[in-house]
Amino acid sequence: MTATIETKNLTKSFGKIKALNELNLKDGGGISGLVGPNGAGKTTTIHILMGFLKPDEGSATVFGLDSWKQSLEIRKKVGYLQENPRYPDTFTGLRFLEYIALLHEIPQPKQKAKEMMEQVGLADSSQNAIKTYSAGMLQRLGVAQALIGQPELVILDEPTANLDPTGRLDLLDKIKTLH
């Protein structure tokens, strides 16, 4: 059986800084996490897995697909929330998710957007402009965006960043529930 995510001797440098030094990992399924201090290479690893960065050496695969050469196929199967997402401030949360649903060619995009707003606890704020959302609300919107296409894999980079302790617990509970 092929691992969902696997790296072999993955190496990446930025100038003289070696961000990854022969990283070997293989996911165990379920909910997994990359844990380490700032600068440990977590985001670099994710960017390589998503095909945004080319590794200097080694290999990275997602669903058995080469993360650099087959990144488009991978991105069709993966929902991704970046570390510092940016949204169109003047859109409502609902309009933004409807647009994402259209990009995924989801039938009845407005209905799907409403369902996702409910799933992440933003139904009451769905008609509000995104620029009025708190940090926690933005993270929930990002989770909804990552999940809307019913991906086979979801990658969340620093999903609890900038959240207060209650917001962190709420978001982690939401992730657990949605899993």
**60-119: pLDDT as tens digits:** 999 999 999 999 999 999 999 998 889 999 999 999 999 999 999 999 999 999 999 998
Query: For domain 5-76, which architecture applies?
Result: 3-Layer(aba) Sandwich (3.40)
Residue 62: its H or E element: strand 57-62
In this predicted structure, which of 24-38, 73-87, 102-116, 136-150 has the lowest mean pLDDT? 24-38
Name the superfamily (CATH) of residues 93-178: P-loop containing nucleotide triphosphate hydrolases (3.40.50.300)
Higher pLDDT, 36 or 145: 145
The segment(s) of the chain belonging to CATH 3.40.50.300 are: 5-76, 93-178
Top-confidence range, 32-41, 119-128, 152-161: 119-128
Q: Can you tell me whether residue 20 is helix, strand or coil?
A: strand
In the chain, DSSP assigns E strands to 5-14, 17-26, 57-62, 65-66, 78-81, 153-156
